[in-house]
């Protein structure tokens, strides 16, 4: 028997024999024009998933109104493997597709996957399920996501009170020398597993559908933590993730969704007085971010994107504030219970005069918001914001 199966608890059957307990799992693969955007990566994804060594799972291929023949291709090539194709009548984004498909699933556990994931470990699902069976305090579990054989894509997410979130250990060297789980602030949104009971506690919407894409996993991580549960990542099992298949690594559209949803997340989780102090900082920081992306790409659209973010947040403030009130009615005053990082991620670790001034202003606002224990104390180089790194590796 494979070592991954040896410690699964046994159940007594009607005839008195025992068999491993394999709870049913539904895997949701979210897609939009995957055939044209991903090429062979879509085949790699589905081929690897159908070879998953777990005896009790289903795959739902949830298509967001593709117009490139992806659905017909998947039905023709993968139909014999029992993959269920769910056709969305319009593109409702990653968040809307997941929430809709959740109501069609049969599993007692549900996995959410990007369509650019490859299951390089056939026992990955068994490992995750076994861990969930053993750890009732864990609400979400994920495998380690690798960019390639040597480098990490994500080990979960970190975030600071400026509502900047990033993938932990991204592009660092991977070494599976420990079986010990890591407990990040949020799961990697590209691949994670949760119990159906978690969705029921969230009114059967695991994501905020208004987000469309990006930062939905960050908000989910906050929610799980405030429920008294944890998010876990297991380095002992891995999936490969070719980031940027749908939106590109850097694009104005991706910038808009990330930054708008980041501000929405802050408005939702922080107390009213904290939002009043931090909202101007969240909004104005987009101007700096847009300039950084412009310098990397020379795409003038990044100079306009921050204004689009600001206008969108202000125009939707009524709805955002309603979510803020509902969240706090359910969770109370909660932001201080979260474990925000003291790190600011930038393209380099140079502490220029401008950065010193920005950090001073940020920490001033954080202090007057009553969140001094989460002040920014260090700057860290993040490869995906490093133009030189991007040029060499992509």
pTM of the model: 0.91
Residue 316 CA: distances (Å) to CA of 53, 320, 360: 45, 6, 30
Dihedrals φ, ψ of 228, to 5°? 90, 15
How far apart CA 347 and CA 355 sit, in angstroms, is 12
User: Which pair of structure tokens corresponds to residue 40?
Assistant: 């062979």
User: Which pair of structure tokens corresponds to residue 221?
Assistant: 């991580």
DSSP H or E segment with residue 154: strand 152-154
How far apart CA 340 and CA 376 sit, in angstroms, is 10
The pLDDT of residue 351: 85
Cα(first)–Cα(last) distance of the chain, in Å?
40
pLDDT digits over 83-98, tens only? 999 999 999 999 999 9
Tell me what the pLDDT averaged over the chain comes to: 90
Is it the case that residue 232 has pLDDT exceeding 50? yes
Least confident segment among 141-155, 177-191, 235-249? 235-249
pLDDT digits over 323-372, tens only? 999 999 988 767 888 999 999 988 788 888 888 888 999 999 999 999 99
Dihedrals φ, ψ of 168, to 5°? -65, 135
The pLDDT of residue 389: 60
pLDDT digits over 248-272, tens only? 778 999 999 999 999 999 999 999 9
Mean pLDDT of the region 85-112: 97
Q: Which fold has domain 3-241?
A: Spore Coat Polysaccharide Biosynthesis Protein SpsA; Chain A (3.90.550)
3-state DSSP: the chain helix, strand, coil percent, rounded to 5?
45, 20, 35
Mean pLDDT of the region 189-199: 96
Domain definitions of the chain by residue range: 3-241, 252-393
């Amino acid at each position: 028997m494979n070592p991954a199966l040896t410690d699964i608890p046994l159940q007594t059957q009607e005839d008195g024999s025992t068999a491993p307990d394999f709870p049913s799992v539904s895997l949701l693969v979210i897609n939009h024009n995957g055939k044209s955007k991903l090429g062979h990566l879509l085949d790699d994804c589905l081929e690897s998933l159908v070879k998953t060594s777990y005896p009790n799972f289903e795959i739902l291929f949830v298509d967001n109104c593709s117009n490139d023949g992806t659905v017909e291709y998947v039905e023709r090539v993968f139909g014999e493997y029992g993959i269920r194709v769910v056709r969305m009548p319009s593109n409702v984004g990653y968040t809307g597709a997941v929430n809709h498909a959740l109501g069609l699933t049969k599993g007692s556990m549900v996995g959410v996957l990007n369509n650019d994931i490859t299951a390089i470990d056939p026992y990955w699902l068994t490992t995750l399920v076994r861990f969930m069976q053993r750890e009732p305090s864990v609400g979400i579990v994920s495998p380690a996501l690798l960019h390639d054989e040597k480098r990490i894509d994500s080990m979960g997410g970190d975030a600071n009170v400026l509502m900047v979130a990033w993938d932990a250990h991204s592009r660092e060297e991977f070494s599976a020398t420990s079986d010990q789980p890591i407990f990040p602030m949020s799961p990697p949104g590209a691949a994670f597993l949760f119990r159906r009971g978690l969705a029921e506690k969230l009114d059967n919407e695991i994501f905020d559908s208004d987000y469309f894409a990006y930062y939905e996993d960050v908000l989910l991580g906050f929610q799980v933590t405030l429920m008294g549960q944890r998010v876990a990542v297991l380095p002992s099992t891995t999936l490969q993730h070719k980031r940027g298949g749908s939106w590109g690594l850097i694009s104005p559209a991706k910038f808009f969704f990330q930054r708008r949803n980041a501000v929405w997340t802050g408005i939702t989780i922080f107390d009213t007085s904290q939002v009043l102090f931090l909202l101007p900082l969240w909004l104005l920081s987009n101007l700096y971010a847009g300039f950084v992306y412009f310098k990397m790409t020379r795409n003038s659209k990044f100079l306009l994107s921050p204004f689009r973010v600001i206008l969108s947040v202000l125009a939707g403030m009524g709805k955002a504030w309603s979510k803020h009130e509902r969240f706090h009615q359910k969770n109370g005053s909660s932001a201080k219970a979260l474990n925000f990082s003291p790190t600011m991620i930038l393209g380099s670790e140079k502490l220029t005069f401008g950065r010193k001034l920005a950090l001073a202003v940020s920490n001033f606002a954080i202090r007057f918001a009553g969140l001094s224990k989460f002040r920014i104390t260090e700057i860290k180089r993040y490869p995906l914001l490093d133009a030189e790194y991007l040029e060499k590796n992509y």
